[in-house]
Amino acid sequence: MKNRLAITLSLLMIFGYTGMVWGQDTGQEEKVSAVQNKIYHRSHELGLAAGYIPDDDFYEVFPVGAYYMFSFNEDWAWEVVRAQYNLNIEKDLKKELQDRFGVSPSEFSEPLYMAHSNIVYKPFYGKFAFRNRKVVNSETFFVLGGGVVAFENKRNFEESTSEIVPSLSLGLGTRLFLSKSWAMNLELRNYTNFREERTENRFYIGVSIGLRFNLSARKKDRDPRMEKLNQYLKED
């Protein structure tokens, strides 16, 4: 009886080990990943931009303009040019100084326009559900570049003078893909303007709408397994 039990246990152990070995895939396993490629990648983007600069002393500044961006790949792009003209509304500060204290600034500058070129880095990509009804794809990007900003310097009892100064731009934003061709960008940027008498920083809050497209069809990634299957089907 003991011999039969020992033989039975030995056979079970042998069969179990053999089954484990046979069950292993000795070939290269296919990797399953939850990371999705950027399905809305396009090479070109043309857009309209509008924003607000809240920290000017004498004006409420609303930049409006356009931009063109070229994407080298899914991670890097070049905002070739972003040109914006400033719509300015004079604040009450100057009038209050005159009415309450009887003084007026000897000089105040009005920002006229600005033009920049930036390198864009797009490391983050994802999607979220809007009210459990629509899935919105998005990416987060960072910008760094330079350009020029133009001012009109107004002085009491003197003629106004113009000034064009170099400017450094730094910022980040989120791009929401509305469709395969349209995207909306929400942006925060800081402009450091190197003026003759001082260096100043201007904070920019903006939104833009971009039309995204390719001039030629992109090459599709080839799956050798699918190509082999198609070849077999054609032969049959």
Tell me: the pLDDT tens digits for 8-41?
A: 555 445 444 444 444 445 455 555 455 667 778 8
pLDDT at 157: 66
Q: Compute the distance between CA of residue 113 and CA of residue 101 in angstroms, rounded to an integer.
A: 32
Q: What is the pLDDT of residue 39?
A: 77
* pLDDT score, position 130: 75
Neighbours of 202 (CB within 10 A): 20
Note whether residue 143 is domain-resident. yes
pLDDT at 50: 98
pLDDT of residue 118: 98
At 170 the pLDDT is: 97
186 lies in some domain = yes
Question: Any residues with CB less than 8 A from the CB of 151 and at least 6 apart, and which?
Answer: 109, 110, 111, 112, 162, 163, 164, 165, 195
**Is the residue at 21 inside a domain?**
no
Q: What is the pLDDT of residue 45?
A: 97
What is the number of domains present in the chain?
1
Q: Domain of 104: which CATH number? A: 2.40.160.20
Contacts of 22 (CB under 8 A, 6+ apart): none
Structural domain span for residue 146: 44-213
In a domain, 67, yes or no: yes
Asked, for residue 86, whether it belongs to a domain, the answer is yes
Does any domain span residue 39? no
Q: Provide the pLDDT for residue 233.
A: 59
Confidence (pTM): 0.72
Residue 223: per-residue pLDDT? 63
Q: Is residue 205 part of a domain?
A: yes
Do the domain assignments include residue 98? yes
pLDDT-flagged residues of the chain (< 70): 1-36, 94-106, 156-158, 217-226, 228-236
pLDDT for 160: 79
pLDDT of residue 202: 95
